[in-house]
Amino acid sequence: MNPLEITLTNALVNAISSSLQTYNVNLVQNNGLSTSISNIATEIAKEIILSTSLQSNSAINSIPLNTVGPYNPLDLVSQNRNASYVSGIISPAISTTIDSQINALVSSKISSLISFNTSSQFQNIAGLGNLKSQILLSLQPVLSNSISQAISSFSSGLFNKNVVTIPLVGNIGSLFNTADPTIALQNYTLSYNNNQVTSLLGSLQNYNVLNQDNKDKLQVLQTGFVDPTATYPTNDYNGSDTNKLARGEVQGTIVQTKNKNRMIGAKLPNGMSWSQPESPYKGEYPYNKVTNTERGHIIEIDDTPGAERLHIYHRSGTFIEIDANGSVIKRAMGSNYEIVDKNGYISIAGKADISINGECNIFVGNDANIEVEGDTNLTCHNDITATAGGTFNMSAVESFNIRSANVFIEADNQLHLKANATLRINSVGDLHANAIGNMFITAEDMYQKYLGAYYSEITSDMHTKVTGDTYLSSNKYYGKHNDELFVQSEGAQNYKSADNLRFTGNRIDLNGTGSNVAADSEEATTSQTALSANSASIGLMLGRKDINYIDIPDPGFLTLRDQYALTAEEPGSTESEIKKAKDEAIKAGIIPKEKFEEVVISNDSDSSSSNNSTFISPNAELKKLLDAPDNFSLSPNFTLAMLSTKTAVSKAKVVSQRGLTFGEILFNLQGVALNICEPVLKLYPNMFITSGFRLSTGSSSTSQHPLGMAVDIQFKNVSKKEYFEIAKALAKVLNYDQLLLEYSSSTNNPWIHISVNSNKRRNQVATFNNHALYSNGLAQLA
């Protein structure tokens, strides 16, 4: 069973067992009944997971189709969504259906349990008709919590990597026959990726690279200058020399983007939440001064009356904005680091709301002082641990309440309980007081009252000394001593019996110094009933809450170290070429020598390969071209520049080399754009090309970059360890010659090298480390 199934099964077993124990059913003695309960709980847990997964997928599939307007609320790729947000959308859509299905199943199973065991286990139980109702009632909180956990587990499964595509796949029920959401989601993703790639390649079959737009661009080379990148004028200017934001137009601008991507519903205690405000933009011409760079960075100085703003916007979506009221809105799409080398001061005149989805770690190198003038409420759904290396002090002026299913107090030395008034100890069950040493009890008056029998056993001597009188009153009193019995009284001893009074012994000596006047013994005083302890005036929570641990590692960014690693040619066939690349890195101070000597161990491996045989042939007419502009479109989303002069790292203009003409290399590049770049972009919109065409250096005869047959790809906002999962996904659905997952001791992120050859596709998959083969197949080295 998976962890969720185990958790749900245990919760159900406990709930059913607790209900039966109220009827004094001894489950320890009834092994058959315990087994029946366990089997039923397991069956119910599996059904909860299966039904919830199916209903959740159905809800997710229908939401994008029913969305009104241009924005999809479950666009997890471009919006700041998390598992809690998705759960919040799914739950209302499916809760009623799931509750009905599960309650019907539970009712049937509980009826079977009672009916099957009535003759033996339940034969002495009165009110069997109420037993089922009692069990069903006690199960309701557990069932509701279980369904919520199953929905949460499903939602979290969608976030196994930062970039998630909502699977729109038919026949979803068959994928969940295993009743394992993790495996089902993996199969779901694979089906989705295959459908997306197959559909895309089908549409690309009709792509005409020599369309009128490209013909016009080729004509530029002969007729005169226009912007070779086809960047200007951009849509932000829309035929004007004034930016849209400066003109007061928001259609297609970052104002819409920011409002669309607002963070909504950050959780707070007691079911409350807070959300990011909408953009305060109300710009009017000519008050808003806008700087909009080529890569999408924007600076606004807005003097619009009543809506004065300052705004700095990074193309990633990170921004800081000051509105007309002086309020500051900051958002970091990546991680946020703030370092103060001296003192830090924060003053908030109003309230503060803080919402953290992951762990929160706070370290104080000295004393920590927290003072609250109002109430302090701390709610923890699981465990609280507080330790002190010194003294742990807790005090309350009014009441101090502690309540739990079990309370354990242990002192390694002394334990003191002191009450200035009454001290009450109350136990519904047995009360045990055990002392290895002596036990001392001192009281002005001591009352002992037992509703049952009183037993006292002493293995050694017993000494009872009473300064006043001693009264014993009982229907029968038995005193037996294996040795001698000495009774001494400074005053009178009076024995009174309503029946016979007998003294039996080998010898009875009665010696008295007073008179012979007989006296009756007095009646013993009745003991008082001990007062019960008051209940703690504090309630209990329903129980533990399953949580999904969130770990969002910081993605790397392109650095000078990446520049070296990514521009180095793919490893050649000789050791000398590999050694030369390492020596150059060490000499340049890019990678320390000891880094190359580290033993790298794979955390995971995969032998995935593709069954995709679809290949879109490039247009042979391209081979005739002698030149083409940067903005020449090789495919719907990729231009020549994006695979040559405008890649993120190795920028090179296409020239004839390695025995190929310009046109033949252009032909190869179109094959890469159609068969590799377009499908990768479809599945991972955050992809970008770091290296495409490269000038031939002669250092490697095996590299396919100088032939225009290969690209290196990285992904924005993706951490090192996620590249392994992305490479696995791509290896299963693309049609390629080689797919290499490459690591370097210097880079912040690995990269994926993919090549395609119109004449042959070997479907080779391998992992490289520091430009040397690490393993055939994929290995996770981060």
Q: Is 389 left (phi over 0), alpha (psi -120 to 50) or beta?
A: alpha
Task: Please give the Cα distance from 93 to 115 (Å, whole number).
Answer: 35
Residues 311-351 have pLDDT tens digits of 999 988 899 999 888 889 999 887 888 888 888 888 888 88
Residues 114-145 have pLDDT tens digits of 766 554 555 445 455 566 777 777 788 888 88
pLDDT of residue 166: 43
Half-sphere exposure at residue 386, Cβ-oriented, CA atoms within 13 angstroms: 7
Percentage of residues in the chain having pLDDT higher than 70: 70
Task: Among 443-452, 463-472, 707-716, name the most confident range.
Answer: 707-716
Q: Is pLDDT above 70 for 601?
A: yes
> Within 10 A of 489 (CB to CB), how many other CB atoms are there?
10
pLDDT-based confidence at residue 756 (cuts at 50, 70, 90)? very high
Low-confidence winner among 53-62, 223-232, 696-705 (lowest mean pLDDT): 223-232
pLDDT of residue 162: 35
pLDDT of residue 225: 47
Task: Please give the Cα distance from 544 to 381 (Å, whole number).
Answer: 6
Tokens of residue 177, six digits: 């026959």
pLDDT-based confidence at residue 22 (cuts at 50, 70, 90)? low
Task: Please give the Cα distance from 317 to 295 (Å, whole number).
Answer: 12
Type of residue numbered 691: S
- The mean pLDDT of 242-262, rounded to a whole number, is 86
Task: Among 120-134, 470-484, 652-666, name the most confident range.
Answer: 652-666
- The mean pLDDT of 257-280, rounded to a whole number, is 84
Residues 163-192 have pLDDT tens digits of 334 444 555 556 555 555 556 667 767 777
Q: Is pLDDT above 70 for 23?
A: no
List all residues 6 or more positions away from 697 whose beta carbon is below 8 Å from its beta carbon. Answer: 569
Low-confidence winner among 16-30, 271-285, 662-676, 680-694 (lowest mean pLDDT): 16-30
- The mean pLDDT of 24-50, rounded to a whole number, is 76
Q: What is the dihedral sign for C-alpha 216, 220, 224, 228?
A: positive
pLDDT of residue 328: 92
- The mean pLDDT of 478-491, rounded to a whole number, is 64
Q: Where do the structural domains in the chain lie, given as residue ranges?
A: 3-201, 208-227+555-780, 244-331
- The mean pLDDT of 651-680, rounded to a whole number, is 94
pLDDT of residue 77: 47
Q: Quickly name the fold that domain 208-227+555-780 has.
A: Muramoyl-pentapeptide Carboxypeptidase; domain 2 (3.30.1380)
Of residues 127, 175, 173, 135, the one with CA closest to residue 44: 135
Residues 507-557 have pLDDT tens digits of 556 565 555 554 555 555 555 555 656 666 666 666 666 666 555 666 666
List all residues 6 or more positions away from 723 whose beta carbon is below 8 Å from its beta carbon. Answer: 715, 741, 749, 750, 751, 752, 782
Please give the backbone phi and psi of residue 321, each rounded to the nearest 5 degrees, phi first. Answer: -140, 135
pLDDT of residue 165: 40
Q: Is pLDDT above 80 for 67?
A: no
- The mean pLDDT of 736-759, rounded to a whole number, is 90
pLDDT of residue 752: 95
pLDDT of residue 396: 85
pLDDT of residue 741: 95
CA angle 355, 356, 362 (to 5 degrees): 115
pLDDT of residue 423: 81
Please give the backbone phi and psi of residue 87, each rounded to the nearest 5 degrees, phi first. Answer: -60, -40
Task: Please give the Cα distance from 729 to 725 (Å, whole number).
Answer: 6
Residues 722-742 have pLDDT tens digits of 899 999 999 999 999 999 999
Tokens of residue 710, six digits: 């290969």
Which stretches within 67-126 are classed as H helix? 83-117
Task: Please give the Cα distance from 477 to 462 (Å, whole number).
Answer: 17
pLDDT-based confidence at residue 596 (cuts at 50, 70, 90)? confident
pLDDT of residue 548: 60
Greater confidence, 393 or 167?
393
Q: Is pLDDT above 60 for 572?
A: no
pLDDT-based confidence at residue 453 (cuts at 50, 70, 90)? low
Task: Please give the Cα distance from 676 to 692 (Å, whole number).
Answer: 12
Half-sphere exposure at residue 399, Cβ-oriented, CA atoms within 13 angstroms: 8
Please give the backbone phi and psi of residue 384, each rounded to the nearest 5 degrees, phi first. Answer: -120, 125
pLDDT of residue 432: 80
- The mean pLDDT of 2-19, rounded to a whole number, is 79
pLDDT-based confidence at residue 643 (cuts at 50, 70, 90)? very high
pLDDT of residue 233: 54
pLDDT of residue 566: 75
Which stretches within 158-228 are classed as H helix? 172-175, 181-204, 212-223
Of residues 509, 460, 456, the one with CA closest to residue 478: 456
Q: Is 419 helix (H, G, I), strand (E, B) or coil?
A: coil
Partner residues linked to 289 by β-bridges: 301
Q: What is the dihedral of CA 49, 51, 53, 56, to 10 degrees?
A: -140
pLDDT of residue 778: 95
pLDDT of residue 19: 72
Task: Please give the Cα distance from 607 to 423 (Å, whole number).
Answer: 70
pLDDT of residue 538: 66
Q: Which long-range contacts (CB under 8 A, 24 or more apart) does 100-105 make?
A: 101/47, 101/51, 102/44, 102/47, 102/48, 102/51, 102/143, 102/147, 103/136, 103/143, 105/44, 105/47
For the structural domain made of 244-331, what CATH number should be given?
3.10.450.190
Of residues 664, 667, 768, 684, the one with CA closest to residue 734: 684
Task: Please give the Cα distance from 278 to 323 (Å, whole number).
Answer: 11
pLDDT of residue 167: 44
Of residues 143, 102, 142, 110, the one with CA closest to residue 20: 110
Tokens of residue 590, six digits: 């890019």
Task: Please give the Cα distance from 772 to 604 (Å, whole number).
Answer: 19
- The mean pLDDT of 95-124, rounded to a whole number, is 72
Q: Are 147 and 45 in contact (CB under 8 A)?
A: no
Q: Is pLDDT above 80 for 4?
A: no
Low-confidence winner among 104-113, 146-155, 209-218, 485-494 (lowest mean pLDDT): 485-494
